[in-house]
Amino acid sequence: MRWLKVRVSADTEAVEAVSELFARYGYQGGVAIEEQYLQDRDGDNLRVDTNAPVIVATYIADTPTAQETIHTLEQALPAGRRRGSRSQCDCAVPAPRRTPA
């Protein structure tokens, strides 16, 4: 089966709402959250960069209803999440994997 990866770049305060939405429509409620980190100059300590956008992602089965689901997600995102370069819903179709014979 082929899968579509749907992801949104969101501000920190929108991550929880986007995650709930993706959990509702994504495969088995799975959601991935990718935060950016800052590292001290000496390389010892890491901390979350609260000023950087967070990537929230889920997978949807590539079925005849997939585009409808993506459209539903786009419409359900808060109005501020649908506009601008930091908040567009991005859908990527991965290349098919070959299984060893």
| Type of residue numbered 38 | L
- Rounded Cα distance between 77 and 56, Å, is 12
Q: Which of 35, 38, 36 is nearest to 15 (CA)?
A: 35
pLDDT at 24: 92
Contacts of 44 (CB under 8 A, 6+ apart): none
Residue with token string 């459209």: 71
Pairing of strands 89-92, 3-10: antiparallel
What is the longest distance spanned by two Cα atoms in the chain?
52
pLDDT at 79: 56
Q: Could you read off the pLDDT tens digit of each residue along the chain, which spans 101 residues?
A: 888 888 888 888 888 888 999 999 888 889 999 888 888 888 788 888 888 888 999 998 888 988 888 888 888 876 544 444 344 455 554 444 454 55
pLDDT at 89: 56
List the domains of the chain with CATH numbers. Answer: 3-92 (3.30.70.120)
Q: Cα-flanking dihedrals φ and ψ of residue 90, to 5°? A: -115, 130
* DSSP at 20: H
